[in-house]
Amino acid sequence: MAMALRALGYKVGDQVAAELLFDDWNEGRFDRIIDLCREADAFQDIPFSLDRTFVEMDKAFPGSKFVLTVRDSPEDWFESLTRFHTKIMGCDGLPTAKDMANFNYRAEGWFLKAHLAILKINEEQIYDRDIYLAHYNAYNQKVIDYFRDRPDDFMLLNVGDDDAAERLCNFLGRPGKLQAMPHENQSKQ
C-alpha cells in the first residue's frame, strides 16, 4: 500500500516513528500519534491498523480518507502473517513467544509485547489460529460498521484484486495514475 500511495504522489509517514508510538496507543494516548500525522499525507500499519486509531484519526482529521486492506480470506491473511513473521525472525517453524521476545524489531521484546497487547492474549496463545482469525474478523467488521454510511471517506480494498489499483485511484480522485498494485514484502513462495 505504501508503494502505491507513493506512486500516486503521497508522502507516506515514517513507519519506524509510528511503531515507536505503540505504547501511546496501548495506553489510549493519541496526541503524539496525531502530531505525527501532521508530517505526511498517508500512514499504514501500527498503530494505524489497530483498534481505536481509525476513530481518533477520523475525529482529528475530518474529511480524511480511510482504506482498510483485506485478503481473499481471513485464512489467507493468517497464512501471510505467519509466513512473514517466520521469514523476518529467521525461524525454521512458527515463531515462539521466546523467539518474539528475543527478536529486536523496534526494541528487544517489542514484537512480543505488541502481539500480546493487540490481541489481548498470553504467551501460550501466540499464533493460535482461531484467536487471530477472530481478531481479524472482529476488527475488520468494526471498521466497516464505523464507516458504513460514508462511502466517500472509506474503502474496503483487497490489494490482490485485478481492479485494486483502478479502484484505489478512483477513490483517491486520481483516476488512471496507477496501472497495478505494487507488491513488496512478498513472503509466498
What local confidence, expressed as pLDDT, does residue 108 receive? Answer: 87
What local confidence, expressed as pLDDT, does residue 44 receive? Answer: 94
Q: What grid cell was written down for 56?
A: 481518533
Strand partners, 108: 104
Residues 6+ apart with CB under 8 A from 177: 7, 8, 9, 169
Mean pLDDT (whole number) for 77-101: 95
Q: What grid cell was written down for 121?
A: 492474549
Question: What's the CA gap between 145 and 138, in Å, rounded?
Answer: 10
Mean pLDDT (whole number) for 147-154: 97
What local confidence, expressed as pLDDT, does residue 186 receive? Answer: 55
Question: What's the CA gap between 130 and 35, in Å, rounded?
Answer: 36
CA 91: distance to chain centroid? 23
Question: What's the CA gap between 182 and 100, in Å, rounded?
Answer: 29
Provide the total of helices (H) and of strands (E) in the chain, helices listed first. 10, 2
Residue 51 one-letter amino acid: D
Using the 8-state DSSP alphabet, how is residue 105 labeled?
S
The three-state (H, E, C) secondary structure of 11-41, written as one string: CECCHHHHHCCHHHHHCCCCHHHHHHHCCCC
Average of per-residue pLDDT values in the chain: 94
What local confidence, expressed as pLDDT, does residue 42 receive? Answer: 97
Strand partners, 67: 155
Rounded to 10 degrees, the C-alpha dihedral 88/90/92/96 comes to: -70
Flag whether pLDDT at 187 surpasses 60.
Answer: no
Residues 6+ apart with CB under 8 A from 120: none
Mean pLDDT (whole number) for 160-189: 85
What local confidence, expressed as pLDDT, does residue 68 receive? Answer: 98
What local confidence, expressed as pLDDT, does residue 107 receive? Answer: 87
Q: What angle do CA 75, 77, 80 make, to 5 degrees?
A: 110
